[in-house]
Structure 1
Amino acid sequence: MTTRSLHLPVAAQPRVDSLVDLAQLGERHGYDTAWLPETWGRDAVTVLTSIARETDTIELGPSVVNVYSRSPALLGQTATTLQEVADGRLRMGIAPSGPAVIEGWHGLEFDRPLRRTREYIEIMRAVMSGETVHYDGDIFSLSGFRLRCDPPAEPVPIDAAGMGPKSVELAGRFADGWHAILFTPEGFRNRLEDFRRGVDLGDRDRDDLRVTLSVTACALEDGDRARELARQHLAFYVGAMGTYYRESLSRQGYEDEALEIATAWANGNHDEAIACIPEALLDDLAAVGTPERARKELAKFESLEGVDDLSIGFPRGASSDDIETTLEGLSPDT
């Protein structure tokens, strides 16, 4: 059975307590997990700690923290500590992010993202085992240290996000799950084949792994406004966040549209970029409109074979009221 989770807003909220309130609301409405993005706003660790203290049953995790701005050993320590604070409810999501954030914000070279992700997974697991870590990789070499506290009583699953064939294969081969973001139903099916190939290469049991699909959602009585908010959101990601989202959209059969969006955005024509998203593409990527329409579109994603957890996210421009209305209108209890 597919669980339904909550992808907390990527846009800045008024205060940390606003995110805590949304996680509590999600818990009351039966959402399985509260996923927290980390970009260039509040850090995920502090916010997740606050959420863990104020919730009881909902699972928690970042989706995602990048594999550049913190060392792999530190992320292992962080996961250990958050698991203790959350009473065993933590699930980590990691990924390379992209050059726009890693180079433009963190000032680091975006080097060997796939290899780096694999080594992070391996080192984090070694750290959280509680044993002395001896690791000799292509990027990292560690030796002679172990946790000074008890290892997690409950192992912390480590998921990897990915959009391209090799990154998704890596998730299936080495991680405990895959986070899929900005996929059409057909695009998801294609990448699921890469995930399954990774599972086979790693001699893994598919039943032990979790696939989380994040879908942008907005369910408002003013359905036209909900769709316009989603258009703005998608245009920003394709146009402003480097090449990864554009390339992913191109692989999914929307090469011309992706190029038009990116070109218009790069030229400063943001309204034109938004207008480049046709109705069919919007429905292929999101669940937006009136509550009735949004629920119908969401069911299309939830019924996809291979989805274990469907996570609803929100447009960047959505207000607090828009987010709460959507969260309640699309909740598992509805």
Structure 2
Amino acid sequence: MTGANSTADRELHLPVAAQDGVDALAGMTSRAEERGYERAWLPETWGRDAASTLGVVAERTETIELGTSIANVYSRSPALLGQTAATLQEITDGRFRLGIGPSGPAVIEGWHGADFERPLRRTRETVDIIRKVVGGEPVEYDGDIFTLSGFRLRFEPPETPPPIDVAGLGPKSVELAGRFADGWHATTFTAEGLEERLDDLRRGAELGDRDPDDVRVTLSLPACALDDGEEARRITAQHLAFYVGGMGTYYRDSLARQGHEELATDIASAWASGDRDRAVDLVAENVLDDMAAAGTPEQARERVAAFESIDGLDAVALAFPRAADRDQIDATIDALAPEA
């Protein structure tokens, strides 16, 4: 966790929305590498899988670090996540960081057909098993969910095991990250909401007899910087409205915990009733500037800087709105680059 006088790294999330091809994602990453971004994260939802895509991206880049944010803990076994992490660490020459988490019931049940059961315990056991796999140890494990025996990784483990980050929104999931993981991934937070969860992270680190400064904190920040500042704000508000209103209760509950319960309910109700414009307006009028960096390049840079100044935050990863096209994504990468 970054101290008060430190500067957070600037990273980016590759687009969650469908792109023309893997070439497009590799091109965005190369552009980010040229402009000084520290790392590119690839989300895995119901689009291209993270492992194959990052393998291609790794071959077409040289220095930018790469990671998954997030790979869910239901669609792959913990051992397979460990195999994947070890392989990507090899392919990237040590540039890989594994971000995992439970995702949410909408994706796990609706897309993967799995029961969204015991997400915290499953995440905890998955971290334990991955550590054994990437460390080259015999994987002997007797947990509440997983029991494994008789195997170890069938190739030389990475000299430097890839760090394992955990995503989470609620107090208990963030406490878990502080207690067991190498980092925490935060998303859809206001500055005040993030600071409250950082207290949970510190408590988790203390419970695990760890130094909170050893737990790397990354915030995924919706961002869009365009000469047409109103368009940038509109599509970013639409992005947030979709997550709060259209992705079940997961993000709605998170916004409610941050002191916006009535607003979260109103956004969800408007979205569910088909009044998407109303849901977007509610975001734009109330929390857009608290949860995103959107507008003209100058406006967006100001908001990014405000988040980067939060004590305890190590990296801000810019996330593009779902509706952003390639030109808008490239413009935002350029406008908000660390060297801009």
- TM-score interval, normalised by the smaller of the two chains: over 0.9
Which of 254, 275, 278 is 2:281 aligned to?
275
1:303 match: 309
Percent of aligned pairs sharing the same letter: 63
Aligned equivalent of 1:160: 166
> Is it true that 1:229 corresponds to 2:235 in the alignment?
yes
Aligned residues: 334
- Normalising by structure 1, we get a TM-score of 0.99
Q: Does 1:204 align with 2:207?
A: no
The CA distance in 2 between the partners of 1:311 and 1:178, in whole Å, is 12
Select the structure with the greater relative contact order (CA < 8 A; seq sep ≥ 6): 2
Q: Which one of 141, 145, 170 corresponds to residue 139 of structure 1?
A: 145
Aligned to 1:260: 266
Matches within 5 A, 1:32-51: 32-51=38-57
Give the Å deviation of 1:145.
0.4
Tell me how far 1:190 sits from its aligned partner. Answer: 0.3
Asked whether the equivalents of residues 167 and 177 of structure 2 are also in contact (C-alpha less than 8 Å), the reply is yes
Write the distance in 1 (CA, Å) between the matches of 2:104 and 2:284.
Answer: 26
2:77 to 43, 47, 71: 71
Unmatched runs of 5 consecutive residues or more in structure 1: none
Any stretches of 5+ residues in structure 2 without a counterpart? 1-6
Residue type of the alignment partner of 2:10: R
Q: Is structure 2 residue 154 aligned with structure 1 residue 151?
A: no
Within the candidate set 18, 24, 33, 2:30 is matched to: 24
1:33-79 deviations in Å (ceiling 9; x for gaps): 00000000100011100011111111100000000000000000000
SS in 2 for 1:204: coil
Provide, for residues 258-310 of structure 1, a one-character-per-residue CA deviation record: whole Å limited to 9, x for no partner.
10110111112212211222434100000000001111111110100001011
Q: Partner letter of residue 150 of structure 2?
A: G
Q: Which runs of 4+ in 1 moved over 6 A?
A: none
Q: Distance in 2 between matches of 1:206 and 1:33?
A: 22
| Structure-2 separation of matches of 1:194 and 1:286 | 22
CA contact (8 A) 2:256 2:262 kept: yes
TM-score, normalisation: structure 2: 0.97
CA distance in 2, matches of 1:277, 1:17: 33
Q: What is the CA distance between 1:206 and its match in structure 2?
A: 2.3
SS at match of 1:156: coil
Q: 1:10 aligns with which of 16, 31, 36?
A: 16
Range that drifts further, 112-121 or 279-288: 279-288
- Report deviation, 1:154: 1.1
Please state if 1:54 is matched with 2:60: yes
Q: Which amino acid aligns with 1:31?
A: Y
CA distance in 2 between counterparts of 1:291 and 1:113 reads 39
- Is structure 2 residue 99 aligned with structure 1 residue 93? yes
Partner secondary structure for residue 110 of structure 2 = coil
- Secondary structure, aligned partner of 1:276: helix
Corresponding residue SS for 1:235: helix
Match of 1:214 in 2: 220
Q: Report the CA distance between 1:205 and its aligned residue.
A: 2.0
Q: Distance between the aligned counterparts of 1:144 and 1:282, measured in 2?
A: 51
RMSD after superposition? 0.8
TM-superposed CA distance for 1:132, in Å, is 1.1
